[in-house]
Amino acid sequence: MCLERGLNSMARKKKKEKKETQAKTKKTKRKKREVNIDAWIDKYIMDFVSLTGLDILELTKEQYKELLSDILIELYGSLTSYSNVKVIAKRYLRARDKINEVIAARLAFMLNELTPEQLEFIAFNIDVNTALSVIPRIYRFLRKLGRNDLLDILRVKWRNSWLKKKYGVLPPQCPCCSFNSLMPDLTCLVCGALVSEKDIIESKEFRVKFMELIQGLDCTELRALLKHDIILYNDNEVKPPTQGKLPVDVEVYIPQSLKNIIRSELREKCEG
């Protein structure tokens, strides 16, 4: 009886050891089958670029790897099974709009010089989350190329991005580049210009808003405005300093030429 129990115990032990060995073998096999994603990217990245239309960017293989490697890893997913490059390309195409936003923002800062095709890709694909940082980076390239069509697109994206990410009122329009990017210190966030008050006063945008201001004031308010030395200017309006200064407001000194316009309005409205 004791011998029989001993034999049974040994049999159970061997059976357990066998299962453990088989489990270890399977685990080892699974590890061996795991895809080497770096090697996969190195082998197939140019095929991916061709299948997705990203070859319009005309980058080198190493530049494409710098730009896309982590995106490809995300698209690939689990490394326990092999995926064909066409499958990965289809996954990209399903999420192309969102992925291209990331690619566009990266590309803008990756290269010191940008081709017309790269600039067009960036302009069309940046979104409200990246526009404020990317547009100042690419403005000079687009200006040099004379791509006013793309600059018009970017002006809209800049405004939308500012209102969503920064503040609920737009800064004044810069007289030099026409972006709503003129700061209270008279510097432009997009083109980098240092703007004079004379440039502001002579701009069409300021003149229109200034006339809207004085035409909307009554006699008492016009007389009060003449006593001030400055007025405040943002994209919405020109206003007296008594209305309070917003973070985006630019202070503009009232020269005699503007005071004369105020006096003329005062005479016509209140003394005529």
Per residue in 226-253, pLDDT (tens digit) is 999 999 999 999 999 999 999 999 999 9
- The verdict on 205 and 161 lying in the same domain is no
- Does a structural domain hold residue 156? yes
Establish how many alpha carbons lie within 13 A of residue 241's alpha carbon, considering only the half-sphere containing its beta carbon. 13
- The verdict on 154 and 98 lying in the same domain is yes
Per residue in 99-124, pLDDT (tens digit) is 999 999 999 999 999 999 999 999 99
- Domain with 242 in it: 197-270
Q: How many domains does the chain have?
A: 2
- The verdict on 50 and 94 lying in the same domain is yes
- The answer to whether the CB of 255 falls within 8 A of the CB of 266 is no
Read off the pTM: 0.82
- Counting residues of the chain whose pLDDT is more than 90, the rounded percentage is 82
